[in-house]
């Protein structure tokens, strides 16, 4: 047991870089998990990292996140198809399993740790006016870092997608894909026609609630909103949150969709493999292969049928532009050959919220980290799968409300509330302020005076922003992080709508039901907003622009649309315009952002996208692999000397750090390597006679648009 504890402490130090007093719970919790072999009770073992890759697969899926894990699972259901799933990060760990520790995964090695570009309109209370944008760099992607909230969006979202020229994406068509993946274990929803049972993704409420969330729901009813299933017939209303958890632990898409298929013979997974570009043959404009770096080697693996980009709304457009697909002027600026001029990286949307709205209570009913007994809390979680460690990242309540800017005759609210029995002050500055990137001066003046006090918060978030941001390349080096311009509040109406949402949140907090706790607003003004009257519209707008919080929902950077839409990157079947054998299946394709948390909609997109691929390749006579006269054989294992692998210089860094500066050696060596050998000779391997050249042979495959 002592050895286990020492080992776990080492893991924490290597994973998080620092162990603070705020992490007192983690070593004990991990030691208990190790001792009781908690992971072993999961019905599925962890997936394996395939070391001996084939030179060619039928389908290559890039990214194992909320979309990619689903796509890989569904495509590998067809036994004759060989599927390769490529993930830049490692597997999940024990910490990621614990719902309440979601914040501790951000800024770790499981996070790309992106930041937005400096802004004068938003993120003014963040360091250098830049908001942190966590994105999962781990098996399961951002479903491993998120707060697990299961929200489908609004019927009108999908009907709107269809009205834009995307047939088959209306609510009545996509509902079955939500239900297909869902295994809803809430008894009161068991016979609900809007929910599924028996799917791979477990959905349920946290088994532990604070008294404050019941008061929050009751306050909503006092204001005239129903206590309802917001994923059901109507959305406007209040409810206790549902989340993707299973037996008290996080149910990521890796756990739900990849662990059950670890033994499929036609499925391979390559972890710690960062894709650098998609190789597209200019003559035929067909996606032929995927190039990626793994353990200091550059691999090029051919795709017989298709490459599917499921790398998320940041990495997918970055990879497309690195591969020659994107705005012509932008690619030419970075010296990248333009293969297809497309508006890649544009149309980016995100849900931005107003953080820091804090209410104090007199009774010990909130989550205060230093109050919990570490032994009791840990073993309540490990042995009984209950307790405060099962909370959905701390969020307990959800609500959807109308501001004066929305049409109340439609059930299409424009503001969502996240209610949590804690606030920025609740951990004494140990983690939350770091995750937010909050300026120390703001924290010290406003939140430090109430550190470790019982408090709760409502975070209003904007459901349908009018502002649009973008993702651009920083350089042609795939290891350089992209330029992310969130462009929050570029349209002034966005800030005004969020101000109205804050007013409604304040009215909720003033409801009679909260009086029993002595609840009252913490009235310390933000230092840069003191010139405005406290709680005036001008003050609230200043607050909105100061503590502007991403809700981790970037989307829209490879917009789905009909051929006549000049902003469209993919068609309604998710095929990239002008390129054969390449699709995008992730949040990038959303024409407009869904009204609510985006994890469930992305899983739906993946379920539908996989079905579109199956329909095309199994029923459409135009989708057949044309076999040349020399014949084609199935891929064979190629071992470590597989053709299409080249080794980076020995002094190249193999660090997994998510900071650019820490990868400078890898970047420099990769850049030099790419410049000196932009066309790797795949026939130079010592065992050429045993293996066909994967890229050269793949060029013999073309989509046959005639009968074959």
Tell me which residues are annotated as active site: 553
Closest CA to 113 of 92, 142, 93, 140: 142
Yes or no: say if 382 and 518 are a contact pair by the CB < 8 Å rule: no
Yes or no: say if 393 and 147 are a contact pair by the CB < 8 Å rule: yes
Q: Counting beta carbons within 10 angstroms of the beta carbon of residue 691, is it exposed (0 to 12), middle (13 to 18) or buried (19 or more)? A: buried
Yes or no: say if 303 and 444 are a contact pair by the CB < 8 Å rule: no
The torsion angle over the Cα atoms of residues 299, 300, 303 and 307, rounded to 10 degrees, is 80
HEC-encoded secondary structure of 615-656: HHHHHCCCCCECCCCCCCCCCCCCHHHCCCEEECCCCCCCCC
| Separation between Cα atoms, residue 683 and residue 692, nearest integer Å | 8
Tokens of 609: 């996208």
Closest CA to 498 of 527, 537, 529, 471: 537
- For residue 66, the cross-strand partners are none
| Separation between Cα atoms, residue 132 and residue 125, nearest integer Å | 12
Closest CA to 354 of 150, 147, 496, 508: 496
Yes or no: say if 175 and 353 are a contact pair by the CB < 8 Å rule: no
What residue has token string 């793994």? 294
DSSP class of 395: B
What residue has token string 């995750």? 435
Yes or no: say if 591 and 560 are a contact pair by the CB < 8 Å rule: yes
Q: Dihedral sign, CA of 255, 259, 260, 265?
A: positive
| Separation between Cα atoms, residue 355 and residue 422, nearest integer Å | 12
Give Cβ neighbours of residue 595 (< 8 Å, ≥ 6 apart): 153, 154, 156, 157, 235, 400, 412, 413, 416, 463, 464
CA distances, 70 to each of 5, 274, 314 (Å): 35, 19, 19
Report how far Cα 41 is from the mean position of its chain's Cα atoms. Answer: 26
Q: Counting beta carbons within 10 angstroms of the beta carbon of residue 337, is it exposed (0 to 12), middle (13 to 18) or buried (19 or more)? A: exposed
CA distances, 275 to each of 334, 555, 651, 664 (Å): 19, 20, 20, 17
Q: Counting beta carbons within 10 angstroms of the beta carbon of residue 232, is it exposed (0 to 12), middle (13 to 18) or buried (19 or more)? A: middle
DSSP, residue by residue, 303-365: EEEEEEE-SHHHHHHHHHHHTTEE-HHHHHHTT---SEE--TT-SBB--EEE---EEE-SSS-
Closest CA to 562 of 551, 577, 584: 577
**How many Cβ atoms are within 10 Å of 287's Cβ, its own excluded?**
27
Give Cβ neighbours of residue 77 (< 8 Å, ≥ 6 apart): none
| Separation between Cα atoms, residue 599 and residue 378, nearest integer Å | 28
Closest CA to 293 of 649, 699, 660, 691: 649
Tell me if residue 252 falls in helix, strand or coil.
coil
């Amino acid at each position: 047991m002592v050895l286990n504890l020492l080992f776990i402490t080492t893991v924490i130090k290597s994973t998080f870089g620092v162990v603070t007093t705020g992490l007192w719970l983690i070593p004990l919790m991990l030691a208990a998990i190790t001792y009781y072999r908690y992971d072993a009770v999961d019905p599925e073992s962890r997936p394996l990292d395939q070391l001996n890759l084939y030179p060619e697969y039928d389908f290559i899926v890039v990214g194992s996140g909320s979309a990619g894990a689903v796509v890989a699972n569904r495509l590998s259901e067809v036994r004759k198809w060989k599927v390769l799933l490529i993930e830049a990060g490692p597997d999940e760990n024990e910490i990621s399993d614990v719902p309440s520790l979601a914040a501790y995964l951000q800024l770790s090695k499981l996070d790309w740790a992106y930041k937005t570009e400096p802004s004068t309109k938003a993120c003014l209370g963040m360091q250098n006016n830049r908001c942190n944008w966590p994105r999962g760099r781990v098996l399961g992607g951002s479903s491993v870092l998120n707060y697990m909230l299961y929200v489908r969006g609004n019927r009108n979202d999908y009907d709107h997608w269809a009205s834009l020229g995307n047939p088959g994406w209306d609510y009545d068509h996509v509902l079955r894909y939500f239900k297909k993946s869902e295994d809803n274990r809430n008894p009161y929803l068991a016979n609900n026609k809007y929910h599924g049972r028996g799917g791979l993704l477990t959905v349920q409420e946290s088994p532990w609630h604070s008294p404050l969330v019941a008061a929050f729901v009751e306050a909503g009813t006092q204001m005239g909103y129903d206590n309802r299933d917001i994923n059901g017939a109507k959305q406007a209303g209040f409810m206790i949150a549902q989340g993707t958890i299973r037996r008290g632990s996080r149910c990521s898409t890796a756990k739900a969709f990849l662990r059950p298929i670890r033994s499929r013979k036609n499925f391979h997974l390559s972890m710690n493999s960062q894709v650098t570009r998609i190789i597209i043959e200019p003559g035929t404009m067909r996606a032929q292969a995927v190039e990626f770096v793994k353990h200091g080697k550059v691999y090029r693996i051919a795709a017989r049928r298709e490459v599917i980009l499921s790398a998320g709304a940041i990495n997918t457009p970055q990879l497309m532009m690195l591969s020659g697909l994107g705005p012509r002027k932008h690619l030419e600026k970075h010296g990248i050959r333009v293969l297809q001029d497309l508006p890649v990286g544009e149309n980016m949307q995100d849900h931005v919220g107003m953080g820091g709205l804090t209410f104090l209570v007199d009774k010990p009913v909130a989550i205060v980290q230093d109050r919990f007994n570490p032994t009791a809390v840990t073993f309540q979680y490990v042995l009984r799968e209950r307790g405060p460690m099962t909370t959905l990242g701390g969020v307990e309540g959800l609500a959807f409300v109308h501001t004066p800017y929305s049409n109340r005759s439609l059930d299409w609210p424009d503001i969502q509330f996240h209610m949590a029995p804690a606030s920025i002050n609740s951990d004494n500055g140990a983690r939350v302020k770091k995750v937010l990137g909050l300026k120390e001066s703001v924290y010290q003046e406003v939140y430090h005076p109430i550190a470790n006090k019982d408090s709760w918060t409502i975070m209003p978030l904007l459901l349908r922003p009018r502002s649009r941001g973008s993702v651009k390349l920083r350089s042609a080096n795939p290891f350089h992080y992209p330029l992310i311009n969130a462009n929050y509040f570029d349209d002034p109406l966005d800030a005004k709508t969020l101000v109205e949402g804050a007013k409604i949140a304040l009215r909720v907090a003033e409801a009679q039901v909260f009086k029993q706790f002595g609840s009252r607003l913490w009235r310390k003004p933000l230092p840069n907003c003191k010139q405005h009257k406290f709680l005036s519209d001008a003050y609230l707008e200043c607050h909105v622009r100061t503590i502007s919080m991403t809700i981790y929902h970037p989307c829209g950077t490879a917009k789905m649309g009909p051929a006549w839409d000049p902003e469209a990157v993919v068609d309604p079947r998710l095929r990239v315009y002008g390129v054969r054998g390449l699709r995008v299946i992730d949040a990038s394709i959303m024409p407009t952002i869904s009204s609510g948390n985006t994890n469930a909609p992305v899983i739906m997109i993946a379920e539908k996208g996989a079905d579109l691929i199956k329909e095309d390749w199994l029923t459409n006579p135009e989708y057949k692999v044309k076999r040349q006269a020399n014949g084609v054989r199935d891929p064979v294992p190629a071992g470590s000397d597989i053709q299409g692998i080249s080794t980076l210089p020995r002094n190249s860094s193999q660090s997994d750090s998510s900071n650019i500066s820490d990868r400078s050696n890898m970047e420099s060596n990769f850049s030099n390597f790419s410049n000196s050998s932009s066309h790797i000779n795949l026939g130079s391997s010592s065992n050429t006679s045993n293996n066909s050249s994967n890229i050269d042979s793949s060029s013999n495959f073309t989509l046959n648009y005639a009968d074959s």
